[in-house]
A = this chain, B = another copy of it.
Amino acid sequence: MAEAKHEHTHREQRKKYTFNKLKGFGEEIVEEIEKSKVPVLKIPSRGTGNIVYDPDKRYYILGDRKGKRSLGNVKQIRKLGQMVYTANFCKDLVLRDKTATIREMYYISEGWGIEFNTQQESNTVGEDLEVALGVTREDLGLMPEEDGASVYGDITLLDGEFEINAMKAGKSGYTISPTIDQVELLDCNAEFVLAVETMGMFHRLVQENAFKRYNCLIVGLKGQAARATRRFIKRVNEELGLPVYICNDGDPWGFHIAQVIISGSAKLAHVNHELATPNAKFLGVTASDIIEYELPTDPLKDIDVLRLKELSKDPRYKTDFWQTEIKKMLKIGKKAEQQSFSKYGLEYVVDTYFPEKLGL
Protein backbone atom coordinates (compact mmCIF):
# COMPACT_ATOMS: atom_id res chain seq x y z
CA MET A 1 0.00 0.00 0.00
CA ALA A 2 2.26 2.80 -1.23
CA GLU A 3 1.07 6.38 -1.18
CA ALA A 4 -0.67 6.99 -4.48
CA LYS A 5 1.36 8.59 -7.23
CA HIS A 6 -1.54 8.47 -9.67
CA GLU A 7 -4.26 10.96 -10.44
CA HIS A 8 -7.98 10.59 -10.21
CA THR A 9 -8.56 11.14 -13.94
CA HIS A 10 -11.77 9.11 -14.16
CA ARG A 11 -13.25 10.74 -11.07
CA GLU A 12 -12.31 14.28 -12.10
CA GLN A 13 -13.79 13.86 -15.58
CA ARG A 14 -17.10 12.62 -14.22
CA LYS A 15 -17.15 15.33 -11.57
CA LYS A 16 -16.66 18.07 -14.14
CA TYR A 17 -19.29 16.61 -16.46
CA THR A 18 -21.83 16.29 -13.64
CA PHE A 19 -21.15 19.77 -12.32
CA ASN A 20 -21.69 21.29 -15.77
CA LYS A 21 -24.93 19.36 -16.19
CA LEU A 22 -26.22 20.62 -12.85
CA LYS A 23 -25.14 24.17 -13.62
CA GLY A 24 -26.85 24.01 -17.02
CA PHE A 25 -30.03 22.73 -15.41
CA GLY A 26 -30.19 25.73 -13.10
CA GLU A 27 -29.21 28.24 -15.79
CA GLU A 28 -31.98 27.05 -18.08
CA ILE A 29 -34.59 27.69 -15.42
CA VAL A 30 -33.14 31.11 -14.55
CA GLU A 31 -33.04 32.12 -18.24
CA GLU A 32 -36.69 31.30 -18.72
CA ILE A 33 -37.60 33.34 -15.68
CA GLU A 34 -35.49 36.29 -16.85
CA LYS A 35 -37.37 36.17 -20.17
CA SER A 36 -40.57 36.27 -18.08
CA LYS A 37 -41.47 32.80 -19.34
CA VAL A 38 -42.83 30.01 -17.17
CA PRO A 39 -40.02 27.40 -16.83
CA VAL A 40 -40.90 24.09 -18.45
CA LEU A 41 -38.76 20.95 -18.31
CA LYS A 42 -38.89 18.19 -20.91
CA ILE A 43 -37.91 14.89 -19.35
CA PRO A 44 -37.80 11.51 -21.15
CA SER A 45 -40.75 9.47 -19.94
CA ARG A 46 -39.98 6.48 -17.73
CA GLY A 47 -43.40 4.91 -18.15
CA THR A 48 -43.54 1.25 -19.28
CA GLY A 49 -44.77 2.41 -22.71
CA ASN A 50 -41.47 4.22 -23.27
CA ILE A 51 -39.12 1.42 -22.19
CA VAL A 52 -37.88 -0.46 -25.24
CA TYR A 53 -35.39 -3.26 -25.73
CA ASP A 54 -32.67 -2.22 -28.15
CA PRO A 55 -31.46 -5.34 -29.99
CA ASP A 56 -28.30 -3.59 -31.21
CA LYS A 57 -27.28 -2.33 -27.80
CA ARG A 58 -28.66 -5.52 -26.21
CA TYR A 59 -30.27 -3.75 -23.28
CA TYR A 60 -33.37 -1.74 -22.41
CA ILE A 61 -33.33 1.96 -23.26
CA LEU A 62 -35.84 4.80 -23.03
CA GLY A 63 -37.77 5.66 -26.21
CA ASP A 64 -38.37 9.15 -27.60
CA ARG A 65 -41.44 10.05 -25.61
CA LYS A 66 -40.97 13.01 -23.31
CA GLY A 67 -43.05 14.39 -20.49
CA LYS A 68 -43.38 18.08 -19.66
CA ARG A 69 -43.03 19.49 -16.16
CA SER A 70 -44.19 23.07 -15.90
CA LEU A 71 -43.95 25.53 -13.03
CA GLY A 72 -47.22 26.90 -14.46
CA ASN A 73 -49.00 23.68 -13.56
CA VAL A 74 -50.22 23.72 -9.96
CA LYS A 75 -49.98 19.93 -9.70
CA GLN A 76 -46.35 19.91 -10.80
CA ILE A 77 -44.98 22.85 -8.81
CA ARG A 78 -44.17 20.82 -5.71
CA LYS A 79 -42.32 18.07 -7.56
CA LEU A 80 -40.42 20.52 -9.74
CA GLY A 81 -39.53 22.57 -6.69
CA GLN A 82 -38.18 19.44 -5.00
CA MET A 83 -36.14 18.70 -8.12
CA VAL A 84 -34.54 22.15 -8.02
CA TYR A 85 -33.77 21.82 -4.30
CA THR A 86 -32.34 18.35 -4.87
CA ALA A 87 -30.20 19.57 -7.78
CA ASN A 88 -28.89 22.38 -5.61
CA PHE A 89 -28.13 19.96 -2.78
CA CYS A 90 -26.33 17.67 -5.25
CA LYS A 91 -24.30 20.55 -6.71
CA ASP A 92 -23.10 21.20 -3.18
CA LEU A 93 -22.22 17.52 -2.68
CA VAL A 94 -20.28 17.38 -5.95
CA LEU A 95 -18.38 20.60 -5.20
CA ARG A 96 -17.39 19.40 -1.74
CA ASP A 97 -16.52 15.84 -2.88
CA LYS A 98 -19.19 14.47 -0.57
CA THR A 99 -21.96 11.96 -0.85
CA ALA A 100 -25.24 11.45 0.98
CA THR A 101 -27.41 8.37 1.27
CA ILE A 102 -30.87 8.72 -0.25
CA ARG A 103 -32.12 8.29 3.32
CA GLU A 104 -30.07 11.27 4.52
CA MET A 105 -31.44 13.37 1.65
CA TYR A 106 -34.95 12.42 2.69
CA TYR A 107 -34.30 13.83 6.18
CA ILE A 108 -32.40 16.85 4.91
CA SER A 109 -35.44 17.90 2.88
CA GLU A 110 -37.15 18.77 6.19
CA GLY A 111 -35.46 22.15 5.95
CA TRP A 112 -36.74 22.90 2.44
CA GLY A 113 -40.32 23.82 3.26
CA ILE A 114 -41.41 21.39 0.52
CA GLU A 115 -40.00 18.29 2.21
CA PHE A 116 -40.47 14.76 0.90
CA ASN A 117 -43.41 13.02 2.51
CA THR A 118 -42.12 9.53 1.81
CA GLN A 119 -38.81 7.92 0.93
CA GLN A 120 -40.42 6.83 -2.35
CA GLU A 121 -41.05 10.47 -3.26
CA SER A 122 -37.39 11.39 -2.75
CA ASN A 123 -36.21 8.32 -4.66
CA THR A 124 -38.39 9.30 -7.62
CA VAL A 125 -36.98 12.82 -7.69
CA GLY A 126 -33.48 11.34 -7.63
CA GLU A 127 -34.31 9.18 -10.65
CA ASP A 128 -36.01 12.12 -12.40
CA LEU A 129 -32.82 14.07 -12.03
CA GLU A 130 -30.79 11.13 -13.38
CA VAL A 131 -32.90 10.97 -16.50
CA ALA A 132 -33.19 14.76 -16.93
CA LEU A 133 -29.44 15.29 -16.74
CA GLY A 134 -28.19 12.01 -18.19
CA VAL A 135 -25.88 11.32 -15.26
CA THR A 136 -26.08 8.61 -12.64
CA ARG A 137 -27.46 9.18 -9.17
CA GLU A 138 -24.04 8.19 -7.81
CA ASP A 139 -22.38 10.93 -9.88
CA LEU A 140 -24.81 13.34 -8.23
CA GLY A 141 -23.49 12.13 -4.87
CA LEU A 142 -26.66 10.21 -3.94
CA MET A 143 -25.83 6.74 -2.67
CA PRO A 144 -27.82 3.66 -1.82
CA GLU A 145 -27.27 2.09 1.61
CA GLU A 146 -25.67 -1.12 0.51
CA ASP A 147 -22.11 -1.84 -0.55
CA GLY A 148 -21.40 -3.77 -3.71
CA ALA A 149 -19.68 -7.07 -4.32
CA SER A 150 -16.35 -8.38 -3.04
CA VAL A 151 -13.44 -8.61 -5.46
CA TYR A 152 -10.39 -10.85 -5.05
CA GLY A 153 -7.45 -11.05 -7.44
CA ASP A 154 -4.60 -9.14 -9.02
CA ILE A 155 -6.15 -5.74 -9.73
CA THR A 156 -4.78 -2.51 -8.28
CA LEU A 157 -7.17 0.35 -7.59
CA LEU A 158 -6.74 3.92 -6.46
CA ASP A 159 -9.41 4.51 -3.79
CA GLY A 160 -9.02 7.92 -2.17
CA GLU A 161 -5.33 8.38 -1.43
CA PHE A 162 -4.52 4.68 -1.24
CA GLU A 163 -3.49 2.13 -3.85
CA ILE A 164 -5.13 -1.19 -3.07
CA ASN A 165 -4.38 -4.58 -4.55
CA ALA A 166 -7.44 -6.81 -4.27
CA MET A 167 -5.28 -9.86 -3.59
CA LYS A 168 -3.86 -8.26 -0.45
CA ALA A 169 -6.97 -6.83 1.18
CA GLY A 170 -8.01 -9.83 3.26
CA LYS A 171 -9.77 -13.13 2.69
CA SER A 172 -13.00 -11.34 1.82
CA GLY A 173 -11.27 -9.18 -0.76
CA TYR A 174 -11.83 -5.56 -1.70
CA THR A 175 -15.37 -4.30 -1.16
CA ILE A 176 -16.84 -2.28 -4.03
CA SER A 177 -18.25 0.82 -2.35
CA PRO A 178 -21.22 2.75 -3.78
CA THR A 179 -18.68 5.40 -4.86
CA ILE A 180 -16.97 3.07 -7.36
CA ASP A 181 -16.76 5.82 -9.99
CA GLN A 182 -14.44 7.74 -7.67
CA VAL A 183 -12.01 4.84 -7.98
CA GLU A 184 -9.33 4.51 -10.67
CA LEU A 185 -8.45 1.12 -12.18
CA LEU A 186 -4.67 1.42 -12.15
CA ASP A 187 -3.34 -1.97 -13.09
CA CYS A 188 -4.62 -5.48 -13.66
CA ASN A 189 -2.80 -8.71 -14.38
CA ALA A 190 -5.88 -10.94 -14.45
CA GLU A 191 -7.22 -12.19 -17.78
CA PHE A 192 -10.93 -12.41 -17.07
CA VAL A 193 -13.61 -11.98 -14.41
CA LEU A 194 -15.43 -14.86 -12.74
CA ALA A 195 -18.50 -13.59 -10.87
CA VAL A 196 -20.41 -15.92 -8.56
CA GLU A 197 -23.74 -15.48 -6.79
CA THR A 198 -22.88 -16.59 -3.27
CA MET A 199 -20.12 -15.67 -0.86
CA GLY A 200 -19.89 -19.40 -0.09
CA MET A 201 -18.64 -19.99 -3.64
CA PHE A 202 -16.48 -16.85 -3.49
CA HIS A 203 -14.67 -18.17 -0.42
CA ARG A 204 -14.32 -21.60 -2.07
CA LEU A 205 -12.65 -20.03 -5.13
CA VAL A 206 -10.34 -17.92 -2.96
CA GLN A 207 -9.42 -20.90 -0.80
CA GLU A 208 -8.64 -23.15 -3.77
CA ASN A 209 -6.47 -20.41 -5.31
CA ALA A 210 -8.70 -20.15 -8.39
CA PHE A 211 -7.58 -16.53 -8.87
CA LYS A 212 -3.99 -17.79 -9.37
CA ARG A 213 -4.76 -21.02 -11.20
CA TYR A 214 -7.07 -19.37 -13.77
CA ASN A 215 -5.46 -15.92 -13.50
CA CYS A 216 -8.80 -14.23 -12.95
CA LEU A 217 -10.62 -11.79 -10.73
CA ILE A 218 -13.20 -13.38 -8.46
CA VAL A 219 -16.31 -11.33 -7.79
CA GLY A 220 -18.78 -12.33 -5.05
CA LEU A 221 -22.12 -10.83 -6.13
CA LYS A 222 -24.04 -11.42 -2.85
CA GLY A 223 -27.27 -12.20 -4.70
CA GLN A 224 -28.88 -9.55 -6.88
CA ALA A 225 -26.01 -7.30 -7.96
CA ALA A 226 -25.98 -3.78 -6.53
CA ARG A 227 -25.67 -0.88 -8.96
CA ALA A 228 -22.05 -0.41 -7.84
CA THR A 229 -21.25 -4.03 -8.71
CA ARG A 230 -22.78 -3.69 -12.17
CA ARG A 231 -20.84 -0.48 -12.72
CA PHE A 232 -17.58 -2.14 -11.63
CA ILE A 233 -18.13 -5.13 -13.92
CA LYS A 234 -18.89 -2.83 -16.85
CA ARG A 235 -15.79 -0.74 -16.21
CA VAL A 236 -13.53 -3.77 -15.92
CA ASN A 237 -15.03 -5.20 -19.11
CA GLU A 238 -14.82 -1.99 -21.15
CA GLU A 239 -11.88 -0.07 -19.68
CA LEU A 240 -9.61 -3.09 -19.19
CA GLY A 241 -11.05 -5.36 -21.89
CA LEU A 242 -11.57 -8.31 -19.53
CA PRO A 243 -14.16 -10.95 -20.52
CA VAL A 244 -16.78 -11.55 -17.80
CA TYR A 245 -18.29 -14.92 -16.87
CA ILE A 246 -21.11 -15.35 -14.37
CA CYS A 247 -21.92 -18.49 -12.40
CA ASN A 248 -25.09 -18.53 -10.28
CA ASP A 249 -27.54 -21.00 -8.85
CA GLY A 250 -29.28 -23.08 -11.51
CA ASP A 251 -32.78 -21.65 -11.14
CA PRO A 252 -34.76 -18.75 -12.68
CA TRP A 253 -33.53 -16.39 -9.96
CA GLY A 254 -29.89 -17.20 -10.63
CA PHE A 255 -30.52 -16.79 -14.38
CA HIS A 256 -31.99 -13.37 -13.82
CA ILE A 257 -29.25 -12.14 -11.49
CA ALA A 258 -26.90 -12.82 -14.42
CA GLN A 259 -29.24 -11.31 -16.99
CA VAL A 260 -29.59 -8.00 -15.14
CA ILE A 261 -25.78 -7.71 -15.15
CA ILE A 262 -25.69 -8.55 -18.86
CA SER A 263 -28.71 -6.66 -20.23
CA GLY A 264 -29.77 -4.30 -17.46
CA SER A 265 -33.21 -3.92 -15.96
CA ALA A 266 -36.31 -2.33 -17.46
CA LYS A 267 -36.78 -0.11 -14.42
CA LEU A 268 -33.34 1.46 -14.89
CA ALA A 269 -33.62 1.80 -18.69
CA HIS A 270 -32.37 5.39 -18.41
CA VAL A 271 -29.00 4.36 -16.95
CA ASN A 272 -28.44 0.94 -18.54
CA HIS A 273 -25.80 2.49 -20.79
CA GLU A 274 -23.78 2.94 -17.59
CA LEU A 275 -24.69 -0.38 -15.95
CA ALA A 276 -25.22 -3.16 -18.50
CA THR A 277 -22.37 -5.39 -19.74
CA PRO A 278 -23.85 -7.00 -22.88
CA ASN A 279 -20.66 -8.98 -23.53
CA ALA A 280 -20.77 -10.76 -20.18
CA LYS A 281 -21.56 -14.47 -20.45
CA PHE A 282 -23.69 -16.75 -18.29
CA LEU A 283 -21.62 -19.83 -17.56
CA GLY A 284 -23.95 -21.83 -15.34
CA VAL A 285 -25.45 -23.55 -13.49
CA THR A 286 -27.54 -24.50 -16.55
CA ALA A 287 -30.16 -27.22 -16.87
CA SER A 288 -27.60 -29.02 -19.05
CA ASP A 289 -25.08 -28.84 -16.17
CA ILE A 290 -27.63 -30.36 -13.81
CA ILE A 291 -27.97 -33.36 -16.14
CA GLU A 292 -24.35 -33.69 -17.20
CA TYR A 293 -22.85 -33.35 -13.69
CA GLU A 294 -25.69 -35.31 -12.04
CA LEU A 295 -26.07 -32.58 -9.44
CA PRO A 296 -28.17 -32.87 -6.30
CA THR A 297 -31.41 -31.06 -7.09
CA ASP A 298 -34.63 -29.73 -5.66
CA PRO A 299 -37.90 -29.96 -7.57
CA LEU A 300 -39.05 -26.71 -9.23
CA LYS A 301 -41.75 -24.98 -7.22
CA ASP A 302 -44.83 -23.46 -8.86
CA ILE A 303 -43.28 -20.03 -8.55
CA ASP A 304 -40.07 -21.25 -10.26
CA VAL A 305 -42.09 -22.64 -13.18
CA LEU A 306 -44.07 -19.41 -13.48
CA ARG A 307 -40.89 -17.34 -13.45
CA LEU A 308 -39.19 -19.55 -16.07
CA LYS A 309 -42.20 -19.11 -18.37
CA GLU A 310 -42.06 -15.34 -17.86
CA LEU A 311 -38.34 -15.30 -18.68
CA SER A 312 -38.87 -17.32 -21.86
CA LYS A 313 -41.03 -14.46 -23.22
CA ASP A 314 -38.64 -11.69 -22.14
CA PRO A 315 -36.70 -10.12 -25.06
CA ARG A 316 -33.46 -10.51 -23.09
CA TYR A 317 -33.89 -14.31 -23.22
CA LYS A 318 -34.61 -14.58 -26.98
CA THR A 319 -31.31 -16.31 -27.82
CA ASP A 320 -31.17 -20.02 -28.67
CA PHE A 321 -29.03 -20.67 -25.60
CA TRP A 322 -31.58 -19.30 -23.15
CA GLN A 323 -34.62 -20.74 -24.92
CA THR A 324 -33.02 -24.20 -24.89
CA GLU A 325 -31.93 -24.02 -21.26
CA ILE A 326 -35.28 -22.71 -20.01
CA LYS A 327 -37.15 -25.47 -21.89
CA LYS A 328 -34.76 -28.09 -20.54
CA MET A 329 -35.19 -26.92 -16.96
CA LEU A 330 -38.98 -26.96 -17.31
CA LYS A 331 -38.75 -30.46 -18.76
CA ILE A 332 -36.59 -31.98 -16.00
CA GLY A 333 -38.55 -30.00 -13.39
CA LYS A 334 -35.43 -29.53 -11.27
CA LYS A 335 -33.11 -26.81 -10.05
CA ALA A 336 -29.67 -26.93 -8.39
CA GLU A 337 -27.55 -24.61 -6.27
CA GLN A 338 -24.02 -23.72 -7.28
CA GLN A 339 -22.68 -25.18 -4.04
CA SER A 340 -24.18 -28.59 -4.91
CA PHE A 341 -20.94 -29.47 -6.77
CA SER A 342 -19.47 -30.18 -3.34
CA LYS A 343 -21.26 -33.53 -3.56
CA TYR A 344 -18.01 -34.54 -5.32
CA GLY A 345 -15.78 -32.91 -2.71
CA LEU A 346 -14.92 -29.32 -1.91
CA GLU A 347 -12.31 -28.98 -4.68
CA TYR A 348 -14.32 -30.45 -7.54
CA VAL A 349 -15.86 -27.19 -8.67
CA VAL A 350 -12.41 -25.60 -9.02
CA ASP A 351 -10.54 -28.70 -10.26
CA THR A 352 -13.13 -29.84 -12.78
CA TYR A 353 -16.29 -27.83 -13.37
CA PHE A 354 -14.88 -24.35 -14.00
CA PRO A 355 -11.94 -25.54 -16.15
CA GLU A 356 -14.33 -27.59 -18.29
CA LYS A 357 -16.82 -24.76 -18.70
CA LEU A 358 -14.14 -22.14 -19.35
CA GLY A 359 -12.16 -24.40 -21.70
CA LEU A 360 -9.01 -23.95 -19.61
How many of these chains are in the complex? 2
Instruction: Report if A169-B164 is in contact (Cβ < 8 Å); known contacts: A150-B147, A199-B145, A296-B107.
Output: yes
Report whether A100 and B346 are in contact in the complex, using a CB–CB cutoff of 8 Å: yes
What are the residues of chain B within 8 A of A165 when measuring CB–CB?
1
Contact with B along A98-129 (1 / 0, CB 8 A): 11110111011011000000000000000000
Residue of B nearest to A338 (CB): B103
Instruction: Report if A345-B200 is in contact (Cβ < 8 Å); known contacts: A157-B170, A177-B170, A339-B101.
Output: no
Helix, strand, loop or mixed for chain A's interface?
Answer: mixed
Report whether A343 and B203 are in contact in the complex, using a CB–CB cutoff of 8 Å: no
Report whether A168 and B1 are in contact in the complex, using a CB–CB cutoff of 8 Å: yes
Residues of A323-343 contacting chain B, CB below 8 A = 337, 339-343
Whole-angstrom distance between the Cβ of A98 and the nearest chain B Cβ: 6
A171 close to B (CB within 8 Å): yes
Residue of B nearest to A159 (CB): B170
What are the residues of chain B within 8 A of A178 when measuring CB–CB?
203
Residue of B nearest to A111 (CB): B343
Whole-angstrom distance between the Cβ of A213 and the nearest chain B Cβ: 16
Whole-angstrom distance between the Cβ of A2 and the nearest chain B Cβ: 9
What are the residues of chain B within 8 A of A111 when measuring CB–CB?
343
Residues of A134-190 contacting chain B, CB below 8 A = 143, 145-147, 150, 157, 159-160, 162, 164-165, 168-179, 182-183
Report whether B108 and A345 are in contact in the complex, using a CB–CB cutoff of 8 Å: yes
Q: Which of B143, B145, B171, B176 contacts A179 (CB 8 A)?
A: B171
A272 close to B (CB within 8 Å): no
Whole-angstrom distance between the Cβ of A279 and the nearest chain B Cβ: 26
Residues of A72-120 contacting chain B, CB below 8 A = 98-101, 103-105, 107-108, 110-111
Residues of A44-71 contacting chain B, CB below 8 A = none
A204 close to B (CB within 8 Å): yes
Report whether A164 and B175 are in contact in the complex, using a CB–CB cutoff of 8 Å: no
Complex alpha-carbon distance, A165 and B342, angstroms: 34
Interface size class of A (residues with CB under 8 A): 35 or more
Residue of B nearest to A143 (CB): B203
A207 close to B (CB within 8 Å): yes
Instruction: Report if A173-B175 is in contact (Cβ < 8 Å); known contacts: A199-B145, A343-B108.
Output: yes
A18 close to B (CB within 8 Å): no
Report whether B199 and A147 are in contact in the complex, using a CB–CB cutoff of 8 Å: yes
Whole-angstrom distance between the Cβ of A179 and the nearest chain B Cβ: 6
What are the residues of chain B within 8 A of A198 when measuring CB–CB?
145
Whole-angstrom distance between the Cβ of A192 and the nearest chain B Cβ: 22
Instruction: Report if A172-B200 is in contact (Cβ < 8 Å); known contacts: A98-B207, A100-B346, A107-B343.
Output: no
Complex alpha-carbon distance, A110 and B171, angstroms: 28
Complex alpha-carbon distance, A104 and B342, angstroms: 6
- Please name 26 pairs of A and B residues whose Cβ atoms are closer than 8 Å in the assembled complex, sorted by A: A1-B165, A101-B339, A103-B337, A103-B339, A104-B204, A104-B342, A105-B342, A107-B339, A107-B340, A107-B341, A108-B343, A108-B346, A143-B200, A145-B200, A147-B199, A150-B175, A159-B170, A160-B171, A162-B168, A169-B170, A170-B177, A170-B183, A172-B175, A172-B177, A173-B175, A175-B175
Ranked nearest first, the 5 interchain pairs of A and B with the lowest CB-CB distance are A172-B175, A101-B200, A104-B342, A172-B177, A171-B177
